[in-house]
Amino acid sequence: MSIPQSGGGPIEHRDQLAGYLADGCKPKADWRIGTEHEKFGYCKDTHQPLPYEGARSILAILEGLRDRHDWKPLAEGGKLIGLEKDGANISLEPGGQLELSGAPLETIHQTCDEVNDHLKQVKDIADEIGVGFIGLGAAPEWTHDEMPMMPKGRYKLMDGYMQKVGTMGRVMMRRTCTVQVNLDFGSEADMVQKLRVAFALQPVATALFANSPFFEGKLNGHKSWRSRVWRDLDADRTGMLPFVFEDGFGFERWVDYALDVPMYFVYRDGTYHNALGQSFRDFMEGKLPALPGETPTLSDWADHLTTLFPEARIKKFIEMRGADGGPWRRLCALPAFWVGLMYDQSALDGAWDLVKGWHQETREALRVAASVDGLGARVGDIHMHELAREVVALSEAGLAARAREGAGGLIPDETHFLNAVKESLDSGQVPADELLAKYHGDWNGDLSRVYGEYSY
């Protein structure tokens, strides 16, 4: 979940809304990579999730990172709720999931170094207080009541609202984790092509990174339970967005969509004002019940855009949102997968050629099948395993063409970051399959062993 945004001053005319998005257009030389990942913290001896406060807590981790590793504190209502340093920030998801939102970096080498440094710092603090962190798409055992609610105003508002608009919103908030990458676009046309490819191929990312076959201590029948959760959350703000593939789609059409999504809040002077279910269109006219007579700023618009949760979304960049949180190696593989497809025009064109003939029914069916069967998914004559093989080959070619060196020139490009997903293609086994094999094999149904074997 996002921290309050800094978008700009008063909105005086509607054109500024699309202009805000268009301001994200950058020349290719300035395109960057921002990687985000979430993880569950727990007490090593009890396997229980971390509370906000206490000797073994989220607060203790944040304070340790602040004091030992020079992160600057971010507070809300007198509570430490995040950290920032060098263009990156550490924030809390509603149930205490710890998230790194990485700085915008030039190469996968850099973003992977950033991830590695972060996990080492977290482990440095966690080991001293008997805490562990694990990368999974869904909490394997914990119930809703066992998960704490972090002291952030937007979460308190969302928590009640989620019960009214879907069946799984509160599950998403407290008991799921993801890894995603944020990428740039050069023009409106470039954004349109990238976003269409992003939506069409999110199911491939869901399949390759599926890592949540357990929930509340039991098998759940899905390779990615996290993906299943997102299908029953809030129809107004989630999904595959068919209009993205319609003729004429661009920044203005995204504005229309965003304006039709009910609001959550307005952030003013450190306080989240309840605007649940209210209309940003009314806000534009000074008729928002939450703040009568006030009109929005571009910062309010930026905040509102963070409350849209489709499988991919645009702000001043594109977010790829379809993958489960996962093990250490795959935190670098996910950005590599998308950078290879998006930042080389030949790879992007090849990806579009793969998907441009699909109907919305196909895209949605792939989304569902990927969550259930991972690489074993089939929709009509599309076999996910073969599709993923083609897509990863395009990504690898794109990374090779980028030819971004690492290790002082010793590594010629970024293709090796795809090794984890290439191993899945060779074996047919994604992380969920590996977990299930252990559960039915060596673990003999003892799910508690996941903590010892899969923690960072």
Query: 3-state SS of 210-242?
Result: CCECEECCEECCCCEHHHHHHCCCCCCCCCCCH
Predicted pLDDT at 290: 96
Are 19 and 423 in contact by the 8 Å Cβ rule? The answer is no
Please state the domain count of the chain: 1
Rounded to the nearest integer, the mean pLDDT of the chain is: 97
CA distance linking residue 181 with residue 198, whole number of Å: 11
CB proximity list for 182: less than 8 A, separation 6 or greater: 33, 34, 35, 36, 104, 317, 318, 319, 320
Q: What pLDDT sits at residue 269? A: 87
Q: Token pair of 282, please?
A: 């009314």
Spacing of C-alpha 181 from chain mean position = 7
User: Coil, strand or helix: which one is 225?
Assistant: helix
- 208 has a pLDDT exceeding 70: yes
Does residue 128 lie in a domain region?
Answer: yes
By C-alpha distance, which of 165, 10, 173 is closest to 96?
173
Q: Each residue of 401-455: pLDDT tens digit?
A: 999 999 999 999 999 999 999 999 999 999 999 999 999 999 999 999 999 999 9
Work out the percent of the chain whose per-residue pLDDT is above 90: 97
In single-letter form, the type of residue at position 354 comes to L
∠ CA 104-110-113, nearest 5°, is: 120
**Residue matched to tokens 């047919």:** 428
31 found inside a domain? yes
Residue range 56-70, pLDDT digits in tens: 999 999 999 999 999
On whether residue 76 sits in a domain, the answer given is: yes
Phi/psi of residue 143, nearest 5 degrees: -90, 170
Q: What is the CATH number of the domain that holds 83?
A: 3.30.590.20
Decide: helix, strand or coil at residue 450. Answer: helix
What are the tens digits of pLDDT across the range 169-196?
999 999 999 999 999 999 999 999 999 9
* Amino acid 201: pLDDT: 98
Phi, psi (rounded to 5 degrees) for 142: -70, 140
Q: Is the CA virtual torsion 241, 243, 249, 255 positive or negative? A: negative
Tell me which amino acid residue 92 is: L
CB 388 within 8 A of CB 86: no
Residue 3 lies in a domain: no
Give the total residue count for the chain: 456
Whether residue 224 has pLDDT greater than 70: yes
Give the Cα-Cα-Cα angle 382, 420, 313 (nearest 5 degrees): 60
pLDDT bracket for residue 3 (50, 70, 90): low
Q: What is the model's pLDDT at position 6? A: 67
pLDDT value of position 207:
98
Mean pLDDT of 18-44: 98
Local structure of residue 411 (DSSP, 8 states): B
Whose tokens are 């005319």? That residue is: 13
**Residue 7 lies inside a defined structural domain of this protein:** no
Q: By percentage, how much of the chain surpasses pLDDT 70?
A: 98
Q: What is the pLDDT of residue 123?
A: 97
Q: Does the pLDDT at position 7 exceed 80?
A: no
Average pLDDT of 39-60?
A: 98
Count CB atoms within 10 A of the CB of residue 90. 22
Over residues 368-395, mean pLDDT: 98
Over residues 276-304, the pLDDT tens digits come to 999 999 999 999 999 999 999 999 999 99
Alpha carbons 280 and 307: distance in angstroms, whole number: 12
Q: And the tokens for 62?
A: 């944040």
CA distance 158 to 147: 16
Sequence-ordered list of residues with C-beta below 8 angstroms from that of 232, at least 6 positions apart, any chain: 166, 167, 168
| Position 109 pLDDT exceeds 70 | yes
Q: CA-to-CA distance for 60 and 52, rounded, in angstroms?
A: 8
Question: In the structure, what pLDDT confidence band is assigned to residue 206 with cuts at 50, 70 and 90?
Answer: very high
What mean pLDDT is predicted for residues 132-147? 97
Cα 391 → chain centroid: 20
User: Are 183 and 318 a contacting pair, CB within 8 Å?
Assistant: yes
Can you give the residue range of the structural domain that contains 234?
15-454
Residue pair 260/235 in contact by the 8 Å Cβ criterion: no
Answer yes or no: is pLDDT of 1 > 60: no
Residue 47 DSSP symbol: -
**From CA 298, how far away is CA 16, in angstroms rounded?**
8
pLDDT class of 8 with cuts at 50, 70, 90: confident
In the chain, how long is the greatest CA-to-CA distance?
64
In a domain, 188, yes or no: yes
Asked if the model's pLDDT at residue 89 lies above 80, the reply is: yes
Rg (CA), the chain: 21
Question: Is residue 292 helix, strand or coil?
Answer: coil
What span, in angstroms and rounded, lies between the C-alpha atoms of 356 and 359? Answer: 8
Asked, for residue 9, whether it belongs to a domain, the answer is no
Is 398 a domain residue? yes
| Torsion over CA: 419, 421, 426, 427 (sign) | positive
